[in-house]
Amino acid sequence: MTRTHLISLAALLFAAPAAADTLVDNVDGISVDRAGKVTRFTGIWIDDDGRVKALLQRKDKRPQRTDFAVDGKGATVIPGLVDSHVHVMGIGFGALTLDLSQTKSLAEAQAAIRAYAAQFPDRKWIVGRGWNQETWGLGRFPTAAELDAAVADRPVLLERVDGHAQWANSLALKAAGIDSATADPAGGRIERLPGSRAPAGVFVDNAADLVAKAVPAPRPDDWDLALAKAQEILIANGVTAVADMGTTIEAWQSMRRAGDTGWLRMRIMAYASGPQNMELIGGPGPTPWLYDDRLRLNGVKLYVDGALGSRGAWLKAPYADDAKNTGLPLVNGAQLRNLMSRAALDKFQVAVHAIGDRANAEVLDAIEELSHTYGGDRRWRIEHAQIVDPVDIARFGQLGVIASMQPVHQTSDRLMAEARLGPARLSGAYAWRSIAAGGATLAFGTDAPVESSDPFAGLAAAISRTGPDGQPFGGWFPAEAVSREAALSAYTANGAWAGFGEGRFGELRPGVRADFVFLDRDPLLASPEDLRATRVLQTWVGGERVYEAAGAISSQARGR
């Protein structure tokens, strides 16, 4: 072997470890840490494990050899967004379900149902939602026969826009075993054909279950389809990591299939649906981080109360619009403490849904008590924390409780919250800034599919306390708005920390997975209106591009 051979060989071998390095250059890069401190950069050097090797400033020398180089052409780059409260499978199943909410007449709905059935010939049932006979100008409920006119070869079941009624076709009635002899259940009504006991096709309130229970449970293929669809939606929205609130064993198995066979494209921090799923999924404790930090069972999701709209939120004083009602706890104090202890004993993280001020106080009380037994880095979470008594606000910070809140809920709910609570109890409502000022970690999310998973609507609400219509002018209790930096941190670094993901994702700095998003504007400079209009151009997870918008910047990629 000659000297020349050896030299070229050595060069080749030296190059090898760096062979899969990637340089993303010429960007307007932003990262925010948990304290809201902003780092700006113009290049990201990514190693062959998909981690950030270095953030580069304009003056910094670029690496000599990289396998892959991307010219960002000055686009804004921020860390991949972390949505701290979603229902992953709900997003997927929702997107795969027939949506009638935009139909303007019965005939239009029938056409949409027919088209959907033709699009999915393999589905054994057609399930959908969103119809409203009022917007159709029908003046009455639709009938099974009118649904048969659209689809008669398979059972069809469609939920009304408000979720309080189901519309079935004849095969669905047959599958559910419902006929003239079926009695109305307590709290429910079966619509009947005029002058007859024959069911007309619509089932109101508790009667809806009579037919809904006949819909087959999702099969593994359905779960996989829903997971794939949810990932597609989230990634297109710039979301690279989520906390999945209420993971079942079926959902978990689908996530593992995705990881095992290489189609888990984003990061999921799972919170099991109750203790049974927690034990079945996690076993004696949280799982390890799996699939290069793409999946972990962190803990368990528990519930203390319901929602404000249905007056299920548990309040300290009666509802302003229902003087005898304070809502209801779903578990009593002893049960809550038992459930939390059982999880904490095995080091599962505990995330408790609490909407009303009484519910939030109850969870804070329980955390205060349990902290004596279960010390260390527990990262107790309260999900939603919507209505907090001002006397309890500082306790979040004092007890180290993470407030996992959804800014868009404030803009969606404000009129309803005013009605339910009256003017005197709004100062602790959606009180982001006060909770953070008390030293608590804010982790922002969307509650998708309850709200859209678009994080920019949330960021805009967070900094403005206004809705997409710009209302109310000047913002609703605008003192509770947070800074752009704090909002971005709550959607990135804090979201990762809230799920024990710090050092793995949520920021852009050396050693962290290279999860980032190309945007068409700078979220730290945009007005709330501009922020809402943000377009995600590309999404990268673990140093790989997993999404590029149609017609987005044609970033130049080339081997060097």
Q: Which is nearer to a copy of itself, 7 or 152 (CB)?
A: 7
Q: Which is nearer to a copy of itself, 283 or 478 (CB)?
A: 283
How many other CB atoms sit within 10 Å of the CB of residue 66? 21
Taking the complex as a whole, the smallest distance from the CB of residue 10 to a copy of itself amounts, in Å, to: 5
Q: Which is nearer to a copy of itself, 63 or 275 (CB)?
A: 275
State which amino acid sits at residue 229.
Answer: K
Taking the complex as a whole, the smallest distance from the CB of residue 51 to a copy of itself amounts, in Å, to: 21
With vertex at residue 308, the alpha carbon angle to CA 306 and CA 310, rounded to the nearest 5 degrees, is 75
Taking the complex as a whole, the smallest distance from the CB of residue 2 to a copy of itself amounts, in Å, to: 10
How many H-runs (helices) and E-runs (strands) does the chain carry?
A: 18, 23
CA torsion angle 471 477 480 484 (round to 10): 30
Taking the complex as a whole, the smallest distance from the CB of residue 454 to a copy of itself amounts, in Å, to: 30
The answer to whether residues 493 and 52 touch, using CB atoms and an 8 Å cutoff, is no
Taking the complex as a whole, the smallest distance from the CB of residue 500 to a copy of itself amounts, in Å, to: 16
Contacts of range 447-452, beta carbons closer than 8 Å, 24 or more positions apart: 447/85, 447/86, 447/87, 447/384, 447/406, 447/408, 447/409, 448/83, 448/86, 448/87, 448/90, 448/91, 449/86, 449/87, 449/90, 449/91, 449/94, 449/95, 450/87, 451/406, 451/408, 451/409, 451/412, 452/408
Q: Which is nearer to a copy of itself, 10 or 38 (CB)?
A: 10
3-class DSSP assignment, residue 109: helix
Q: Which is nearer to a copy of itself, 170 or 287 (CB)?
A: 287
Q: Which is nearer to a copy of itself, 227 or 486 (CB)?
A: 227
* Cα distance between residue 480 and residue 397, in whole Å: 16
Taking the complex as a whole, the smallest distance from the CB of residue 459 to a copy of itself amounts, in Å, to: 35
State which amino acid sits at residue 366.
Answer: A
Taking the complex as a whole, the smallest distance from the CB of residue 453 to a copy of itself amounts, in Å, to: 25
Q: Site residues (CB under 8 A) for a copy of itself? A: 3, 6-7, 9-10, 13, 219-221, 223-224, 249-250, 253-254, 256-257, 260-261, 279-284, 287-288, 290
Q: Which is nearer to a copy of itself, 224 or 383 (CB)?
A: 224
* Cα distance between residue 340 and residue 346, in whole Å: 10
Q: Which is nearer to a copy of itself, 250 or 544 (CB)?
A: 250
Taking the complex as a whole, the smallest distance from the CB of residue 125 to a copy of itself amounts, in Å, to: 18
* Cα distance between residue 224 and residue 234, in whole Å: 15
Taking the complex as a whole, the smallest distance from the CB of residue 256 to a copy of itself amounts, in Å, to: 8
* Cα distance between residue 198 and residue 192, in whole Å: 5
3-class DSSP assignment, residue 471: coil
Which among 534, 404, 484 is positioned nearest to 82, based on CA atoms? Answer: 404
Backbone angles phi, psi at 167, to 5 degrees: -115, 120
State which amino acid sits at residue 155.
Answer: P
Taking the complex as a whole, the smallest distance from the CB of residue 396 to a copy of itself amounts, in Å, to: 32
Q: Which is nearer to a copy of itself, 251 or 399 (CB)?
A: 251
Q: Which is nearer to a copy of itself, 74 or 220 (CB)?
A: 220
- CA 457 to mean position of chain CA atoms: 13
